[in-house]
């Protein structure tokens, strides 16, 4: 390993000078500068980021807390977050909490404020107390996707209008004539998905179709969850459309329909929320409400960096662009039979 002072020695100057030329700080003589640069080159010097961090009192990394990077939603967010961090000269440490608040806390305890300057949370399964305590220790925390733009969480966050996302799904289904709708409610009772479901119901009410929801099932937020619940929901042939609060169960529903020989979208419409990669790739391609995932990731990193630079900012809430309906091949107008049946 080559150190600053070795470079200094080689260049016949002192390490402070080397530091200065490397960080373009104080004015350094043109000739000295060249000599230093040559020494850096000759010795293959690379700054020791850990030492620099200690001296500067700040770390070059940010922590990203997710339930599991293997969940198909996170990688897209993580990629965008890492790129954004990278552009600001920061590295990203990925922390999988496995939805266990204790693992999350252990992570926060260890790295927040020591190894990482800030924490980006994309996982609701962390205790708010732990997050606040992390903040108090001096490491900013931002919530990567807060579901209620109109109800700040008391922590810095980037809000995404999940209520609207649900509403968009409802309007789409109603516009297609669906009046017998099933809901696949993912991710546990008191979670982020409830806002989506509320948006769905509210839109239904606005449109005068509050009674259109004929089935609601809570499912594990996964393809498998949607698959098993789907088989049950589809059994009696009542519903003509299914709204899943997330793409994964929606995809599972697609499979359930296929297994039962039910044609999508001819006999059944399916809509999800998020627009993950596999939604585009599914057969039929999934109609869904796209979330501004990448934008939210980039905004989160930007906010985090601002908070690190200026901790007195409080708990600002930034709002990402609105979710957007993406119509693909899994939704269509309600089959005639169903429309008739409804009128009796």
Partner DNA sequence: GTGAAAGCGCTAACAT
Partner DNA sequence: ATGTTAGCGCTTTCAC
The listed partner (DNA, its own copies, none) that binds 15, CB under 5 to 8 Å by sort, is: DNA
In terms of CB distance, is 13 or 217 closer to DNA? 13
When asked if residue 136 is in the footprint of DNA (CB under 7 A), the reply is no
Report if residue 93 touches its own copies, rule: CB under 8 A: yes
Does position 4 interact with DNA (CB under 7 A)? The reply is yes
> Binding pattern to its own copies, positions 273-302, x when CB under 8 A?
----xx--x-x-------------------
Give the nearest distance from C-beta 224 to its own copies in angstroms.
8
Question: Hey, is 143 helix, strand or coil?
Answer: strand
Helices (H), the chain: 4-11, 15-22, 30-43, 49-56, 74-87, 101-111, 128-136, 162-175, 193-206, 223-234, 247-259, 277-281, 293-309, 336-342
Indicate the DSSP class of residue 112: B
Binding residues for its own copies restricted to 209-238, rule: CB under 8 A: 223-224
26: partner contacted, choices its own copies, DNA, none (Cβ within 5-8 A by kind): DNA
What is the rounded CA–CA span in Å between residue 247 and residue 28? 57
Q: Does 266 bind DNA (CB under 7 A)?
A: no
In whole angstroms, give the CA distance from residue 47 to residue 69. 31
Q: Measured between alpha carbons, how far is 120 from 301 in angstroms, rounded to an integer? A: 7
Residue 282 neighbours by CB under 8 Å, 6+ apart: 251, 254, 330
- What gap in Å lies between CA 215 and CA 181, rounded to an integer? 7
Shortest separation between residue 190's beta carbon and its own copies, angstroms: 26
| Rounded Cα gap, residues 190 and 197, in angstroms | 11
Q: Which stretch binds DNA (CB under 7 A): 20-28, 158-166, 170-178, 246-254?
A: 20-28
Cα→Cα distances 75→71, 78, 222, Å = 7, 5, 15
Q: Are 76 and 294 in contact (CB under 8 A)?
A: yes
Answer yes or no whether residue 327 interacts with DNA by CB under 7 A: no
Residues that bind DNA (CB under 7 A): 1, 3-5, 8, 12-17, 19-20, 22-23, 25-29, 31-33, 45, 47-48, 51-52, 54-57
Residues that bind its own copies (CB under 8 A): 1, 44, 46-51, 53-54, 59-61, 68-72, 74-76, 78-79, 82-83, 91-96, 109-111, 113-115, 137-138, 223-224, 251-252, 254-255, 258-259, 277-278, 281, 283
């Amino acid at each position: 390993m080559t150190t600053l002072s070795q470079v200094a020695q080689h260049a016949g100057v002192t390490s402070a000078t080397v530091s200065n030329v490397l960080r373009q700080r104080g004015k350094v003589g043109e000739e000295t500068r060249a000599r230093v640069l040559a020494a850096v080159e000759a010795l293959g010097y690379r700054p020791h980021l850990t030492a620099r961090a200690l001296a500067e009192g700040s770390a070059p990394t940010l922590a990203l807390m997710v339930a599991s990077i293997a969940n198909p939603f996170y990688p897209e967010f993580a990629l965008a977050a890492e790129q954004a961090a990278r552009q600001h000269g920061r590295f990203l440490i990925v922390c999988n909490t496995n939805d266990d608040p204790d693992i999350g806390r252990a992570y926060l305890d260890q790295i927040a404020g020591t190894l990482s300057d800030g924490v980006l949370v994309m996982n609701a399964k962390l205790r708010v107390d732990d997050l606040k305590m992390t903040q108090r220790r001096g490491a900013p925390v931002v919530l990567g996707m807060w579901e209620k733009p109109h109800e700040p969480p008391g922590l810095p966050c980037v809000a995404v209008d999940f209520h609207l996302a649900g509403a968009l799904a409802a309007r789409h289904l109603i516009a297609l004539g669906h009046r017998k709708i099933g809901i696949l409610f993912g991710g546990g009772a008191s979670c982020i998905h409830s806002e989506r479901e509320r948006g769905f119901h509210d839109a239904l009410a606005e449109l005068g179709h509050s009674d259109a929801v004929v089935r609601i099932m809570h499912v594990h937020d996964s393809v498998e969850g949607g698959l098993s619940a789907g088989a049950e929901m589809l059994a009696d042939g009542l519903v003509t459309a299914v709204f899943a609060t997330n793409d994964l169960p929606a995809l599972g529903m697609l499979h359930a329909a296929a297994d039962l020989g039910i044609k999508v979208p001819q006999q059944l419409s399916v809509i999800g929320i998020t627009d993950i990669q596999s939604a585009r790739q599914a057969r039929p391609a999934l109609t869904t409400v796209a979330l501004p995932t990448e934008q939210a990731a980039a905004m989160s990193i930007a906010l985090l960096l601002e908070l690190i630079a200026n901790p007195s900012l409080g708990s600002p809430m930034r709002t990402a662009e609105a979710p957007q309906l993406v119509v693909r091949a899994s939704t269509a107008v309600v089959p005639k039979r169903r429309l008739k049946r409804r009128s009796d």
